[in-house]
Amino acid sequence: MTFRSGFALTAAAPLLLAACTSAPQATKSSTAPSPSTAVQAKAVPWPAGGCDPRVRKVLPTWARAGFSDKGAARMPHVMSSRGDIVAALFAYPTRAWPSDRPDDGSKILWISRVPQQPMSPLKIDAYLDGSQRPVHREVDGGPGPSLMKLPQPGCWRLRLSWSGHSDTIDLEVAPPAAGRA
C-alpha cells in the first residue's frame, strides 16, 4: 500500500463508518415525554411535596466571619442544596408579608461561601410548593442583609443566582404575624 492510497483510506474511513451506522428508529413505546408532559415539566421546576426545609441551629464555621459575638454562631439558618450559600434567619419562623410597605419583610442575611463579583445582585426566583409561577426578588449588591417578602405561607423553593453561581434553598414561611396581614 502506498502513502497516497493509505491516506485516502484513512480520510474515507469516517465517511464509511457514518454510512454503515444508522440512528435508532423511534417507536410508539418510546419513553420520550409527550409534548404536554415536556411543557409541564418545564413550567413546574419542582413537583408538589418536593420542598424540604431543614433549619439548622449552628452556622458553619465559614459563615461566622462577620459576627463578633461567639453566641451568634447559634442562629437558625437554612443551607443551600450545594452548600454554597446560607440564609441566616433573624426571625424564626420566617413570616409571609403580603403588604407592599417597604419596611416590612423577614430579615435574612445571605452568606456566600463562594467568591462574589462586587455589586453583582443576588437574584431569587421563589416558587411556592407545587406552583408554576415564581415570585421574583433581588438583593442589590449580592449576598448580604435583606428583607425578604414572600406573599403567602407555605414551603417555598428559592432558586438563587449570584456572581455566576446558582443554588437552591427550601424555606418554610409561616402566616403573617398578628396585625400584619
pLDDT at 132: 86
CB 124 within 8 Å of CB 144: no
pLDDT at 181: 53
DSSP 63: G
Q: Which of these, 113, 79, 72, 78, lies nearest to 92 by C-alpha position? A: 78
Q: How far apart are CA 127 and CA 158, in angstroms?
A: 6
pLDDT at 67: 79
The whole-angstrom distance between residue 140's C-alpha and the CA centroid of its chain comes to: 18
pLDDT at 179: 62
pLDDT at 178: 72
Backbone Cα Rg of the chain: 25
pLDDT at 46: 59
pLDDT at 138: 96
pLDDT at 52: 80
* pLDDT beneath 70, residues of the chain: 1-48, 70-72, 102, 179-181
